[in-house]
Amino acid sequence: MSKVVLITGASSGMGRASAEFLSAKGFVVYAGTRDVKEIDNYKNENITPLKLDLRDQKSIDAAVAFIKSQHQKIDILVNNAGYGLVSSVEDVKEEEMLNQFNINVFGALRVCKSVIPLMRENESGLIINISSFLGKIGLPLLTMYNSSKYALEGITDSLRYELKDFGIRVHSIMPGFFDTKFARQNLVTNEKTFDANSPYAKIVATLAPVIVEQINNGNSAKEVAEMIFEIIQNPKFPARSTVGDKAKKFIPMKKELSDEDFERRVIEYYNL
C-alpha cells in the first residue's frame, strides 16, 4: 500500500519540488495550499491539490479529515509552508510580527495537532519540519524569521521526545539559500526599514541585495526533496540535517567556534 504524504506550502519551491519528487516515487501526495488554483497544473495523478489555510484550525482539520476518509492514515507530514519578514525590530509592526509566527510556527503546530492523533492511532508516522540554517544562526533584519525558525527547531526537539513511544519520528531539515520563488514572493519587507531615510538604510543596502542574490542563485529545491526521501527510507536518519551550500558552511562553523568568533566570521562574510 502506498504511503500517504501531506505537504504544506506545496504551490511552489521546496514544497512543489517535494510533491513532484515523492509522487514520482509512488507516494500518494496531498499538496496543501491556501489557493488550489496555484497548483492545479500538477501532471501526476498521485498528487491531489488540497485547500489548507494554516491560519485556520478548522481548515486544517477539514483537510486532514478528508485524507482520513480516503486512506485512514497519513504516513508523512512535511511542514514546509513559510515566508520571511525583513524588518528591524524597531520598525516591525505588531501585525507583521504576529503574522510571521502565525504561519511559520503556529501554522506548523496546528497541522501537527491535527495529524498526530491519526498517526498515534496507527502507531506510525513521520513529521519533517522544513526549517532553515537561520534557525541556528542570526542575521540582522531577519530577526522575526530567525526566531520563528529557532522556534521550529525547538518544536522538533520536544516532539521527538513526546511522540517516540507512539512510533512517530520527527526530523528537521535546515536548508541554506535555495533557488525558489522565496526571494520574489515569500520575502515581506517593512516599509520604514526600507525607507531611504531609515537609520538602517546602510545595513539594508549592504545585506538585502546579497541575500536576494544568494537565494536566486542558490541550490536546487530538488535537493530538499531528495533529503525528505532519504529520511523516509532511513529510520536511523539524524534528527536534523543541513542541505545547501550556505547551511553546510555555517552550521558546522557555528559548532566549532565560540559565539564571538562565529559572529566575527558572519560580520566579515556579509560585510556588516
User: Which domains does the chain carry?
Assistant: 4-269 (3.40.50.720)
Cα–Cα dist 263/254, whole Å: 9
pLDDT at 183: 47
* Strands (DSSP E) found in the chain: 4-7, 28-33, 47-51, 76-79, 84-86, 125-130, 168-175, 187-189, 240-243
Compute the radius of gyration of the chain from its Cα atoms: 19
In sequence order, the β-bridge partners of residue 86 are 189
pLDDT for residue 1: 76
SS3 130: strand
Catalytic residues, by residue number, are 11, 131, 145, 149
What is the C-alpha to C-alpha distance for residues 255 and 261, in angstroms, rounded to an integer? 11
| pTM confidence score | 0.93
Per-residue pLDDT tens for 152-202? 999 999 999 999 999 999 999 999 887 665 545 568 999 999 999 999 999
Partner residues linked to 4 by β-bridges:
28
What gap in Å lies between CA 81 and CA 84, rounded to an integer?
Answer: 11
Q: What are the residues whose beta carbons fall under 8 Å from the beta carbon of 18, sequence distance 6 or more? A: 7, 10, 78, 80, 221, 224, 225, 228
Spans of the chain below 50 pLDDT: 183
